[in-house]
Each structure stands twice: as structure tokens, then as C-alpha cells.
Amino acid sequence: MTILHDRPLAITLFLLFGVLILSSLIGWLLSRQVRSPDNRDTIANLNARVNAWWVMTAVFLLSVMVGPLGSVILFALMSFLALREYLALSPTLRADHRALLWLVFVVLPLNYVLVATRWYGLFAIFIPVYGFIWLQIRIALSGETEEFLDRTARIQWGMMVAIYFLSYVPALLMLEIPAYSAEGRNFALLMFLVLVAQASDVLQYVVGKLAGRHPIAPRVSPNKTVEGFFGGIVLASLLGAALYRLTPFPPLAAGLMALVICLMGFAGGLIMSATKRDRGVKDFGTLLPGHGGMLDRIDSLCFSAPVFFHLTRYFYT
Amino acid sequence: MLEVLIIGLVRLVTGAVGRSFGFSFEPPQQRIYYANHTSHLDTLVIWSLIPRDQRRRVRPAAAQDYWWASRWRRYLAEQVLHCVPVVRHRASPTENPLEAVEAAFAQGDSLIIFPEGTRGTGEEMQPFRSGLYHLAAKFPEAELVPVYLHNLNRTLPKGEFLPVPIVCTVAFGAGLRLIEGEKRDDFIARAQRALEGLAAL
């Protein structure tokens, strides 16, 4: 329960719940006012999103409070759910079944065991080197050569994004940051990353809905606007700077780190939108009402976590 | 207890979501769910998506030569899923392969059947056998519900033992009944088209 003894974190959580309560109130008031069917759908979707946020916040906080193992298990489960959605949209052949079993039941758990045991040296190369090589061997051994490179590439990509990239979030717990880690505050850094990445998504959405005029990438993601991009990213970066007490960074560096998280998060959203467009779907799934699937929610996190981890590791450890 | 465990596992692996295309579980009535067959998980997935209070009275039809062949399978078929046996290899030409199935329906149970008769690869549906017609003719009050299972051929294909987690969607189509005077082949073709129509959705 160190979480509650960490003053900056306690204040952050207090404010977070304030924002959630406020969102629920605004959603409730809006739902009483709307008339046109179009707006009603938007508000219903907004309220579904807010409700899902309550659930996600609760699950996330409870897991992190359990301790490092709680975070590792939570993210392992998220990888599992993300992979389940990704595979549904990625055509593989009958011959790939065994390779997929390796991916889900061996590579995924081992990767998170390395995170839990804080074995950085092997964690960093386990999937990019050994996972990458072994899956290709296994697929080649199946004897099926039709679309060999396509199938292999699809499976490898899912492994990188849904397992390796995402596991960089709990991997933050193994960083040894002088003074900071000695006080056992790494989970506040994890909280910083998740809060900024998700706030950036939400603020881009909100600013885009309120003031969005010019699509930023009309062919990939028609709902993303220039106004939403700049507004959301500036606001979320300022939020990051304001949350500097959660981190080992001084305020300016916290703001810059937040900016990187936001930019990578935006890129992640764009990459995933392009992937969905390629597969002809709007969402990866229906797991989280209002948001879509697990991958729709964590796309920004997947791409910001590894960069944030390595920047922090390079400059602060 | 075992039921809850199995349903939990099936949901974890398949994340099965039911989508309705002109079908509703309400009001409860006797139905014959018929589906494409590519995996051992097919029955479990449909079963897990049927509302709990109706599930108790839904009996999957299962091949006797396979499901009653070992103790473990037999336990699963009889005790957990309450399957009814279908005879695939008749001892004599007069034997009715659907005898137990018809008896179950006559008792008031709903059914899950796979009119292809065996598991396919998932690429193309095999022609339906005539059992569906015999049931529709014998029980004109039954609602025949086409159920198309997506992706299960990838989750657990024929010949594999462990499933890969892949999100599966299950499309429930509008129920159909035998039209008076409809010929056997016409009805079978219509039922198969209704199911194939769901594949594209």
C-alpha cells in the first residue's frame, strides 16, 4: 500500500477521480438535453466511454496497488487480449497453428517472466532476437510455403506490438533510477506514462469534437483533426509537466517526456488505424463499450512505452 | 460449477460475441440451432452464448461413434453438455439415425445440430445432409435458427488439441420454417443459403 503514502500520487489519484466524477456528471446532463438522434448517439457513446473509464481505472489501480507482480500480470493479460483481437484480423493458414501456440503460450509468458524477474538484458532481446528467429523456424518447419513471408510478417508484427511493446509499461518497474527507485517509486513513473498517454488520447478526442475542422490524415483516420492533434498534445504535455512530482524529472524534462509520449501515442493511433483500414474494420473488437477492443484503447501506449522506457533509461539511470 | 468453468475458458479463448441478424432469444421457445462445423469448440461456443435459463434445455446433437467412444468424451457429452447421440453409421437401413434427437425435441428440448455432418476446413461449407429437413417436417412448430461461426476453424482446427486464442464472432440469423408443400431439396438449399448468407456479414 505504498501507493497511498506517496503524496504526489495520492493527489494525482484524487484529481483523477474528480475528473471521472465530473465527466459522468457532464455526460448525465448532456444526455438529458440532447434532442437530435445524431447527437444522441454521440452522447450515448461518450457515456459508454466514461463508464468504461471507471472500470479500466479501477482494474488498473487495483492491479498496480497489489505490487509489481500485479502490474506484470495485468499487462500480460492485456497482451493476451490484444493478441486475441489482432489474430482475428490477421489471416494465417492452418499450418501456422503450432507457431501461434508457441507465440501465445510460450513467448508471451516468458517475456513477462523476464519482466517480473527484472532480467533486463534478456528481456530487451528475447522477442526481437529469439522470438523473431524461432517463430520463423517453426513456420518454415510446418512445410507450408504459400504466402510464407506474409504470414511470418503478420505474426511477428503482432508479437512486437501486442507483447514486446506493451510489456515496456511494467518494465518501467525494473529501472534503477538513483534516489527515485530506492524509495520504491517506480510505479509512479508507470502511472505517469499511462496517465499522459491516455489523457492525450482523450484530450485529442475532446478538442477534436469541440473545435475540429481540418482532418489531419483523412485517408487513414477521418476523425483525427489538426485542431485535436495540436490542442490535445499541448494540453497533455502541460499535464505531464504538472505531474513532474510523480517522476524523477524536473518540470521541463517531464513536459518534454510527456510531449514524446503524446507524439508516439498519436503515431501509434495512426499506425493502428491504418492497420484496421487495411483489414476493413472500424474497431479491433467490442471488449470495451464505447472504445472498441483492447487494441483500440492501448494503441498509443504500445508505441509510447518503449520510447519512454529507453529515454528514461538512457538519461536517468 | 464445471459449466461455469467451461464457459469461462471458452470466453477467454474465443472472446465469442454473438451478433443478431433478425434473431432474438426472446420469447423463449423450442428452437433448432443449425451451424457450420469446423471445430470441437463450435458446440461449446453456441452453448455459451445461449442465455443461461434456456441453456439447460438445449441439447447438442453429437456423433455417437466419436463422442461416445471414450469415457472422458462421453462424460463431457452426457453430463456437461447433455448431448444427444446421432448415428452416423447405421447398422440397418431401417434404423433412424435421428431417433434420440427427435425424442429429445418431442420432450420439449431445443437442439444444436451441424447439418454438414462432420467438421470441415472452414473454407467452403459442405452440402447439408437431409436430417434438418426431417426434423423440420416432423416438428413444423420448431424455429430453425442459422448460426454462422467465424474463425473457429483457426482457433482449434480439426486434428489439433490446443486452441489458439482468436476472437470469434457468431452470427445468429432470422429463424425459418418449412413452407407447406416445400420439397426436401428446396428446403435444404434454402436453409444452406440462409447460413451462407450470414458468412458474408
Q: Which amino acid is present at B32?
A: I
Instruction: Choose the closest CB to A84 out of B121, B153, B165.
Output: B165
A250, A160, A263: which is closest to A204 by C-alpha? Answer: A263
**Structure confidence at residue A273 (pLDDT):** 93
Residues A16-36 pLDDT 10s: 999 999 999 999 999 888 888
Which residues in chain A have their CB less than 8 angstroms from residue B151's CB?
88
Q: Is the pLDDT of residue B92 over 90?
A: no
**Structure confidence at residue A132 (pLDDT):** 96
* Three-state DSSP class for residue B176: strand
Which residues in chain B have their CB less than 8 angstroms from residue A81's CB?
15
Categorize the per-residue pLDDT at B118 as very low, low, confident or very high, splitting at 50, 70 and 90: confident
Percent of chain A exceeding pLDDT 90 equals 78
Instruction: Choose the closest CB to A104 out of B17, B121, B165.
Output: B165
Distance separating the N- and C-terminal Cα atoms of chain A: 25
| Mean pLDDT in residue range B12-34 | 92
Percent of chain B exceeding pLDDT 70 equals 100
Chain B, nearest residue to A284 by Cα: B167
Instruction: Report the alpha-carbon distance of residue A179 to residue A256 in Å, rounded.
Output: 21
Spell out the residues 6+ positions from residue A155 whose beta carbon is closer than 8 angstroms to its own. A90, A92, A96, A99, A100, A103, A135, A139
| A82-86, A254-258, B137-141: segment of lowest average pLDDT | B137-141
| Mean pLDDT in residue range A206-225 | 89
Q: Indicate which of B167, B168, B170, B201 best probes the interface with A, i.e. most A CBs within 10 Å of its own CB.
A: B167
Does the distance separating the beta carbons of B167 and A88 come in below 8 Å? yes
DSSP assignment of chain A equals -HHHH-HHHHHHHHHHHHHHHHHHHHHHHHHHH--SHHHHHHHHHHHHHHHHHHHHHHHHHHHHHH-HHHHHHHHHHHHHHHHHHHHHHS---GGGHHHHHHIIIIIHHHHHHHHHTT-HHHHHHIIIIIIHHHHHHHHHHT---TTHHHHHHHHHHHIIIIIIIHHHHHHGGG---TTTGGGT-HHHHHHHHHHHHHHHHHHHHHHHHHH--SBSSTTT-TT-BHHHHHHHHHHHHHHHHHTGGGSSS-HHHHHHHHHHHHHHHHHHHHHHHHHHHHHT-S-S-SSBTTTBSHHHHHHHHHHHHHHHHHHHHHHH-
Q: Is the pLDDT of residue A241 over 90?
A: yes
**Structure confidence at residue A2 (pLDDT):** 58
Higher-confidence position of B94 and A154: A154
Q: What is the pTM of this model?
A: 0.92
**Structure confidence at residue A3 (pLDDT):** 63
**Structure confidence at residue A42 (pLDDT):** 84
**Structure confidence at residue B123 (pLDDT):** 79
Distance from CA of A290 to the nearest CA of B (A): 16
Mean pLDDT taken over chain A: 93
**ipTM of the predicted assembly exceeds 0.85:** yes
Which segment, A18-22, B15-19, B114-118, is predicted with the most confidence on average? A18-22
Distance from CA of B168 to the nearest CA of A (A): 7
In this structure, are strands B31-35 and B84-86 parallel, antiparallel, or unpaired?
unpaired
Q: Indicate which of B124, B166, B169 best probes the interface with A, i.e. most A CBs within 10 Å of its own CB.
A: B166
Which residues in chain A have their CB less than 8 angstroms from residue B17's CB?
286
B-proximal residues of A, 80-109, CB under 8 Å:
80-81, 83-85, 87-88, 92, 94, 97, 100-101, 104-105
B162 in contact with chain A, both atoms CB, cutoff 8 A: yes
Work out how many CB contacts closer than 8 A connect A with B: 39
Higher-confidence position of A160 and B89: A160
3-state secondary structure A185-249: CHHHHHHHHHHHHHHHHHHHHHHHHHHCCCECCCCCCCCCEHHHHHHHHHHHHHHHHHCHHHCCC
**Structure confidence at residue A63 (pLDDT):** 92
| Mean pLDDT in residue range A158-178 | 96
Contact present, A151 and A139 (Cβ < 8 Å): yes
| A72-76, A95-99, A119-123, B197-201: segment of lowest average pLDDT | B197-201
**Structure confidence at residue A226 (pLDDT):** 94
Residue bearing cell 444452406: B192
B151 in contact with chain A, both atoms CB, cutoff 8 A: yes
Q: Indicate which of A79, A87, A139 best probes the interface with B, i.e. most B CBs within 10 Å of its own CB.
A: A87
What's the Cα-to-Cα distance from A38 to each of A251, B109, B114, rounded to whole Å? 42, 43, 42
Q: Is the pLDDT of residue A1 over 60?
A: no
Instruction: Choose the closest CB to A97 out of B13, B157, B168.
Output: B157
B165 in contact with chain A, both atoms CB, cutoff 8 A: yes
B147 in contact with chain A, both atoms CB, cutoff 8 A: no
Contact present, A75 and A167 (Cβ < 8 Å): yes
B125, B115, B180: which is closest to B145 by C-alpha? Answer: B115
Categorize the per-residue pLDDT at A308 as very low, low, confident or very high, splitting at 50, 70 and 90: very high
| Mean pLDDT in residue range B66-86 | 90
Q: Is the pLDDT of residue B127 over 60?
A: yes
Angle at which helices A68-89 and A108-116 cross, to 10°: 160
Does the distance separating the beta carbons of A285 and B154 come in below 8 Å? no
